[in-house]
Structure 1
Amino acid sequence: MLHAIDIFPEVSVNNVHKMLGEMPQIHASCRIRNSKIGAWTALGPNTTLAESSFDDYSYTAGNVSIIYSQVGKFCSIANSVRINPGNHPQWRVTQHHCTYRRIQYGFDTSEDEEFFQWRRDHQCIIGHDVWIGHGAVIMPGVSIGHGAIIGSGAVVTKDVAPYEVAVGVAAKVIKKRFPDDTIEKLLEIGWWDWSRDKLVENFKDLLNMPKFLEKYG
């Protein structure tokens, strides 16, 4: 026998997608440390954000890990994405983390702060209006340009330019979303930096590319 379940837990249908606002919407299961989060943002369940910035209108679908990174505005980050996974010291005799988390193993009275700074120095930079698909991994030091798409399950080891689409392991660029002249105009317009009032007033223009370029380009 199959039981029909409309919604669980039982909440009002009107509250399933809670209205966003100036204060970030952060799920109770999230873990955040030394980070900055913009307005109209939403962090889904089990998102971790450490020593990073997460700009206006961006969201995570859940189970996302972000550390030592800058995430731009209007970014769509799917479930199980990892941005800047931990690097290990491949140049040492052993790459095990006992070489830098020394206190935990009783090898020293202080940690290897120089190594942790090395990790911080290899930030990931995610531009504006970037879509990162389910389960993708953005490796340390990689930059993703404005408007780019990263396919589900991709492992991105090299920079991706604005409006490029990259897929696979290791990720390769397979196409651009638009012709070069359109990309140039979009980057010049930089609509993601519009004020809230301008966005509200001209929102419908974002749905029609020819009209948008004619009006603002």
Structure 2
Amino acid sequence: MERLKFFLDQKYYYNIGRLKTLQYLMKGVVYGRNTTISNCTVGKCCRFGYDNLIYCSAIGDYTYTASNTKIYYAYVGSFCSISWNVSIGGFEHPVHRISTHGFSYQPLYSVVKKVPEVILNQYKKTFIGHDVWVGCNAYIKAGVKVGNGAVIGASAVVTKDVPSYAVVAGNPAQVLKYRFSEDIINVLDEMKWWDWPPDQMKRRISLFQKDIKNIGDLCDSG
């Protein structure tokens, strides 16, 4: 009750609404000031920093963001770590028209009354797998698919799909290495630990507290 009172007194609900705030609190979701979450589904125990804009997206369990991150039309898996000033998805301007400006398709400029259907159909879904780490100032282009366990380096510009457990960096982003060998990656993808219930996580926590160098390291006493 004290936690709820704190959130409502601080007007954390301002950009989300009281009802949604209550629903999120019941799921253990926390978000900072000036964060807007609109037309989204949000998993349990998520954390959003301040000045975030999360729009028309699905966010998996335990995922967190730092400040000033924007996510549009994306599916983000569970246990993702997203740093500050990250941009994921979003609309791309029509470069093959006379003008790239939005006056021809956005009603706010009082030229058209509604967004044309052809524009609505151009929104591309971006897919971020489970346990993905996105470094600060990274940009992930709309329509890109990032595999499970990938690492996106700071200030990377991701314009193409990223394989599972790849480490990428640069502009445009390139694969530098893989976190694990192919056989370990295959086991992790089959294991799907991100879907484990909390009690199984607790029983097997030792698995997450050591470096993985070979297949044998994936065994524990749980």
Shorter chain as denominator, the TM-score bin is: 0.7 to 0.9
Match of 2:116 in 1: 112
1:104 & 1:62 partners in 2: Cα distance?
Answer: 28
Q: What amino acid sits opposite 1:55 in the alignment?
A: G
Alignment of 1:43-82 (within 5 A): 43-82=48-87
Q: Displacement of 1:212 after TM fit?
A: 4.8
Q: Displacement of 1:206 after TM fit?
A: 1.2
Q: What amino acid sits opposite 2:89 in the alignment?
A: N
Match of 1:125 in 2: 127
Instruction: Say what the alpha-carbon RMSD is for the aligned residues.
Output: 1.7
Q: Structure 1 22/109 Cα, relative in aligned 2: closer, same or farther at 3 Å?
A: closer
Tell me the alpha carbon deviations over residues 83-141 of structure 1, each in whole angstroms, 9 at most, x when there is no partner. 0132011121111111211x33332333224303311xx11100000000000000010
1:47 & 1:68 partners in 2: Cα distance?
Answer: 14
Tell me the alpha carbon deviations over residues 150-196 of structure 1, each in whole angstroms, 9 at most, x when there is no partner. 00000000000000011000000011111111111111111111001
TM-score (ref. length: structure 2)? 0.82
Which residue of 31, 38, 49 maps to 1:33?
Answer: 38
Q: Displacement of 1:215 after TM fit?
A: 4.0
- 2:196 is equivalent to residue 194 of structure 1: yes
Structure 2, unaligned runs of 5 or more: 1-24
TM-score (ref. length: structure 1)? 0.84
Match of 1:7 in 2: none
2:194 & 2:35 partners in 1: Cα distance?
Answer: 26
Q: What amino acid sits opposite 1:150 in the alignment?
A: I
Structure 1, unaligned runs of 5 or more: 1-19
1:72 & 1:59 partners in 2: Cα distance?
Answer: 11
Secondary structure at the aligned position of 2:176 is classed as strand
Q: Structure 1 81/205 Cα, relative in aligned 2: closer, same or farther at 3 Å?
A: same
Match of 2:105 in 1: 100
Q: Structure 1 134/59 Cα, relative in aligned 2: closer, same or farther at 3 Å?
A: same
Asked if 2 retains the 8 angstrom alpha-carbon contact of 1:206 and 1:212, the reply is no
Residue identity (%) = 36
Structure 1 runs of 4+ aligned residues shifted over 3 Å read none
Secondary structure at the aligned position of 2:177 is classed as strand
1:85 & 1:134 partners in 2: Cα distance?
Answer: 17
